[in-house]
Structure 1
Amino acid sequence: MTGRFDAVSLEVFWTRLISIVDEAAKAIVRTSFSTLSNEANDFACMLTDARGYSLAPNTGSIPSFIGTLPATVRHFLRAMGADAMRPGDVLITNDAWMGTGHMSDVSVLKPIFRAGRLVAFSATTSHMPGIGGRLRAIEAREVFEEGLHIPLMKLVREGRTDATLIEMIRANVRTPDQTVGDIWAQVGANELMEKRLLALLDDGRLDSLVELGDELFARAEGAMRAAIREVPDGTYRYAMRTDGVDEPLDYRVALTIAGDEITADFTGTSPQQPRAINCVLAYTYAMTAYALKCALLPGLSNNEGMYRPLTVTAPEGCILNPRFPAAVVSRAVTGHYVPVLLFGALHQVIPDRVMAGAGSPLWAVQQTGLRADGKPYTNIFFFNGGMGATPAKDGESVLSWPSNISSTPVEVAERNSPFFFR
């Protein structure tokens, strides 16, 4: 197929891309070992083009992962170069600054080749049941305390697994079967996306995804720019203070609308903290993009085009852009305030299109210890209160806003740990 796509063919291709990533997500739910994936939905699947631009995430993706995963693909491209990638390779990292913002999430990528040419990446991110180090807590003072750091590297090289890496991961985590099992579930999901995408290229007689991707990006970008133009130009500011840990924390944003572009500047936000509540810029960016999409054009397709009118800045060394080696494992308790800031600023100009805050970030409970048979266990459960109201209706209950992590059923929590809830 050559030339530009008409509306019908473009919709067919877009729908098929979504079906691919959604099928991969179901595969993770079926094959993962931990409740974080098969109950809490704390993972994401995505296809990008060969440049690392997001084509489509699965419809149940965690909002932060939608924004961070394409950046992780591009970090691999810059670090390794496309020429160093081969068919059969599988890439892996949990680097907090190049991944999702903390090392608890492992990102697994697969370069996809067609006729010897790199055409795309299948990518997944999943929250591990354990990655070693301290338990998930705010007491850590540096990222080195928070677990095993997997740099940007190959887990599988041309079809051959790095057994040494697998053994190193197993030796450094409390629940090796669950952690490694979840990683292999991601690998399987990536392989499924590869298979389905190559079939799509064959059926559509496409040599690459460049033309299709550029058309999808252009349409999403145009729609987002049109939505921004509907908001009056100006700079809208909002600030809030939270209790913090050792001292109160200030969060500030200046949201500037200029024609069809929007800039969020977090200057004035408190400095990074000697606790594990720092939020790396990639996570700040992702949550900013999520909030603006929700307010301006919630029905817009999630792909590269929606990000192009957006700029996010935060002073290096602040709690929303900490310097390495800041502790970051609980970055969500900070990053989840970002949408509240954005909605507070937008309330001044489009009050009918924003929602109230949820009251607090998500609640996570981590349990660890030894079972009666002496075997260790570690479980992380989410118990969530709900989301804020909109001008039109009350907020939904038992949701982890601004994420979409599911609350863990009590029955599942009791099954997976030697605890009873009363």
Structure 2
Amino acid sequence: MGFYIVQTGVKNFQSAGIFVDLTFFRLFSQDAVGLILSDICMVGSMFFSVLLQKVIAHGWIRWRYTGMILQHIFQVTFLFVPIYWTFFKGWPWVQSGFFVLHTISMLMKIHSYSFYNGELSTYAIYLSELKEKYANLIGETKKTDDEVDEQKENEKQQILGQLEDKIEQVEGYLHSPTRNICYPENVTFLNYVDFILVPTLVYELEYPRTEKIRFWYLFEKILATFGTFFLLYVNTETYIIPILPNGSTSIVIMQVLFPFMVNYLLIFYIIFECICNVFAELTCFADRNFYDDWWNSITWDEFARKWNKPVHHFLLRHVYQSSIESYKLSKRDATFMTFFLSSLIHELVMVVVSKKIRMYLFVLQMLQLPLIWLSNLPAIKGKKWLGNAFFWFGLFIGPPLLGTLYCREVFASD
């Protein structure tokens, strides 16, 4: 990649007298201050969830169903106000895309934090009821005469034993695995700030931690972030932007096939290997499993599980499992619901970016369901090399096709 950048710089200097064209830079640096201030306001509004959970923890309102209704109203507002703001500000596609993606990722954190603590509040109420019942039963046992029916006494002791087991079980839900923190002790602003900074979308009472910050490792990842971003910029400015507005769709796709794949890999590296590790190191977050070997995938469902572990864990807990537990959906229907919601969110991002509703990404992402079925056929599943080749063929075709379709919409609107 270093040689590739040097070669590109020499080529640009020979043809235009400059090493790097800054047209794209001027585009994504437009209204940078406004974008930063808007992002700060968006993140600041997230603390409503802490205030709501504090109100619930003090017993002033119940999570079910008053707290849930208030939380859903806030989440809908939190999502659509920033979307409206991107249209109001008239930002280019880079700023709009970044702002809405950051909003959606923060929305997932809000949802996980609120619903996890909301469920814990119901367990806390249940625990207090169990303890009250246990205390009343103990009191009744002490008041009984000495000549008590032995059978009734055994029944009371059995009930007391069952209550003790339930109390211990519910107390386990309210404590972290190491028992270092317990609900509602975790409902603090400091704990919430820590959750915002750690590179995970799923809230837990406690996370595994490293002993200290490795500053050389941190420097390495920050340097890699800026270096890789420069590679991404040069590749986009030189081999993608000049080609997209011109020529037929099929010719353009062939021309941007490899540049888009390079961009896809660079963006993946920046997010999951650099940015996630920077925040993990700053917060001493020990669980660095942000992705698995998705490049060896032989089916699209395997790819969905491996390439973005933070989002996969969120969808698994708050969409897939929640659909089964709350709405009694079958595993097949819960899988469909998970893909459907994920496809809608991805398409929403493209609507904000292109300022048009076209549903290209939604359709292609939902097409993964029949592709998953096709990949599980014995003729393909039995041959891993064939399944992996089938997967990579789709990965090479998908991004440039979507990029061409949506960029045409952006340039047409300009």
Normalised by the shorter chain, which TM-score bucket?
A: under 0.3
More strand by share: 1
For normalisation by structure 1, the TM-score amounts to 0.26
